[in-house]
Structure 1
């Protein structure tokens, strides 16, 4: 078993029985508690078949290192982020493989105040400890079975002005993942306060067999159920989540999927409109012209970060940014401990729609026309580094700006692109955008794809 290939740049994930098993999970728990001298760690797990088993192994490891565990049961990753801060524990660990295939699982780990653990601040040290760990044969179990859901629900609803919500019908698709119980809790709380929101729930029950496919709305083939339900129920918009619901994906009233890039702009606008000072907005380097334009229009300050939650959260803390967003549908909030949430974004959209007579498509249509984009296109390649060099050589003479913050970004007067390697697969990820010219964007995208495939 290749037990160390599951360590990635800022999380742990791998194939069950090949890269990851109970013993390794137990050792990781032991190493984490030893390395950071934790006294209390909050833990949870997603809806996967092995998550409860792995959570128990994790707790054994924590206990054997002398750390108490607070077990929240089935959770989404953001519930662990919230509980780590709210309960003031020394760390938090979510057992999850998010949107990965059914034969995967993993861990997302945070330190005090939900600071992400990555290769830069201790994950490599834990990896190095694994081979030399000898686990104690006896130990004293130290576990509290708890739930933090009520306080979590209260917090995420605090982003809404509940006195001014207009009647809305919303399709919510949990994908048989961990989001279902939170959807139910939100529905009950809204109902108890007589808030006129009707939730049309599909695939809401957690089911480790994922009968409707792995919850990953980035895959085009997974979007049809949400779109169909929106049209069938004449809903105002729709939401779908990935397995651990730290990302949400939005659909307009016509059932059309909205690229995460435009939701970043929409939420940036929301926070800038509701601020009294020049707030900072963090964005990733893949697509950003729309976000920068909105920041300039509403007196905000746009700051670029390398792609990835550990990088974005670090810059958000340093800059005290009110909001940060990635086009991959990760949205980060200062008042949520600079962490990402898949529940807060759609609740903010509820607030936006309650203050306008327009629809969700109306809110984003103008921005899509101003800055049309390709969406992320993945291409399997044999030598990504060589292709990046060849692409840069091809375009460098006509480029206005070339940047290597994250992969290769090249900017021209009317269009730009970002091409970057995947951290985990032999893939190149391409994003293209233009200034108000959809045909130029399409032509440029086709040109780049032909160059990639020729290389």
Structure 2
């Protein structure tokens, strides 16, 4: 059902508002409820982002929210702000972030905003923003902060209407599933995140058997944290796949714009491995195409894309940054190790864990073989998971800059060392490579290492420990 009402002149003060600079991140606005995020902040986001949209020529905006306890209140405040600057809002309600992105495309709204804390702890929340033409990030986020700081708002009388897009979205996901005489049996771990209801609707239409884990939407995340890049969070999925002899396991983060996956043996399919699986199919239709990955992805992925005839491009980490680079390169497929994977081939170029699940099912169907065979030909490597350690939020980028300077000085003396500083320090040595970069969403530094042997990996770890020690921190790979 669709309902509508029109905003009247508001008596709420449209005053200048200073956001805590910490919440104005590279590709969204995100903070901690009760600390630097509140209903007043959300209203100011509505005013300032709405003004930004108006000045881009926009008149309409789609809005959704995730399952956190704070999300409905923050959503209502954002709506008030958007209406106060003269925008017409289509509220699609509770659901995953990619459903909001889809709504922007399907409804042809000028912009979209999603209230979500993604994979952050339950007391965090935030705002992911997009225009019909592409993501809002970097300087645009700072411009939104400036608009609020100066109280430089547009004025108007907007409206709001509700629109239930859930079944339309599910039908669009189903449209790209390949037909098969051997339907797959899949376990889906929703992690109590925002994808629960959509996954229930989707699996009712899918052939084969399906088991849903933690599909009740609960923003306290009572079973495990909804971050599928952390191996511990996949333990329930792995056990269920193996105990039931199923073909595949698929997991989502809190707002389902990221995917995690395991094969029929319970082996974890890292997201750079998933990109190689997808690339094999995509490059058949787009020979020679550019495929973008982030600095955290395995060298094996870049080598495999090249072997398949594609052009691999390494870029900065961040879903909005990858999306923008993808558009620039006209890439049919891009992604990052964290599980944000973007299909321009057959989809709309935004990150959608549910759609990635459909495409992974297609890859297994095409292979007519177990999921574990899809990566069996790739070289064996020895690597670490992503290791995160907390640092001072204000100093995190300066700390990384110090490490970049240190390893570049070494590279000048040792030709076997090469440094890619496009996003932190990705350091190549004769043993392999390691990375240190600052997270754009948390007060942490992130490191990872990859080598061709166990001994070489230990040497890379030692180098990381030494460099991190120089900036006053310890890092443990245990």
Q: TM-score, normalised by structure 2?
A: 0.86
Q: 1:36/1:139 Cα in 2 relative to 1: closer, same or farther (>3 Å)?
A: closer
Q: Distance in 1 between matches of 2:232 and 2:417?
A: 37
Name the counterpart of 1:118: 137
2:193 match: secondary structure? coil
Q: 1:395/1:380 Cα in 2 relative to 1: closer, same or farther (>3 Å)?
A: farther
Name the counterpart of 2:43: 26
Q: Distance in 1 between matches of 2:51 and 2:156?
A: 15
Q: Distance in 2 between matches of 1:31 and 1:349?
A: 39
Q: Distance in 2 between matches of 1:240 and 1:276?
A: 28
The one of 186, 200, 221 equivalent to 1:210 is 221
Q: How far off its partner does 1:201 sit?
A: 0.6
Are positions 1:133 and 2:151 aligned together? Answer: yes
In structure 2, list runs of 5 or more residues that go unmatched: 1-17, 393-398, 471-478
Name the counterpart of 1:88: 108
- What is the RMSD computed on CA atoms of the aligned residues? 2.4
Name the counterpart of 2:129: 109
8 A contact 2:403–2:468 mirrored in 1: no
Q: Distance in 2 between matches of 1:325 and 1:134?
A: 36
The one of 317, 320, 324 equivalent to 1:310 is 320
Name the counterpart of 1:74: 94
Are positions 1:169 and 2:188 aligned together? Answer: no
Q: How far off its partner does 1:139 sit?
A: 8.4
Name the counterpart of 1:419: 436
Name the counterpart of 1:338: 349
Mapping 1:114-263, distance limit 5 Å:
115-120=134-139, 122-133=140-151, 142-161=159-178, 163-164=179-180, 166-190=182-206, 195=207, 197-263=208-274
8 A contact 2:335–2:341 mirrored in 1: yes
Mapping 1:375-414, distance limit 5 Å:
375-380=385-390, 383-394=399-410, 396=412, 397-399=414-416, 401-413=418-430
Q: 1:276/1:264 Cα in 2 relative to 1: closer, same or farther (>3 Å)?
A: closer
1:186 match: secondary structure? helix
Q: How far off its partner does 1:368 sit?
A: 5.2
Count of matched residue positions in the alignment of Structure 1 and Structure 2: 442
Bigger shift: 424-433 or 22-31? 424-433
8 A contact 2:19–2:145 mirrored in 1: no
The one of 310, 329, 354 equivalent to 2:339 is 329
8 A contact 2:382–2:454 mirrored in 1: no
CA deviation profile, 1:331-353 (whole Å, cap 9, x unmatched):
01114332111112221121111
1:73 match: secondary structure? strand
CA deviation profile, 1:301-360 (whole Å, cap 9, x unmatched):
112222112221112112211100111111011143321111122211211111224322
8 A contact 1:44–1:93 mirrored in 2: yes
Q: How far off its partner does 1:140 sit?
A: 5.8
8 A contact 1:41–1:68 mirrored in 2: yes
CA deviation profile, 1:356-401 (whole Å, cap 9, x unmatched):
24322222233251x4432322244674433443344445504253
Q: Distance in 1 between matches of 2:459 and 2:355?
A: 35
Mapping 1:347-362, distance limit 5 Å:
347-362=358-373
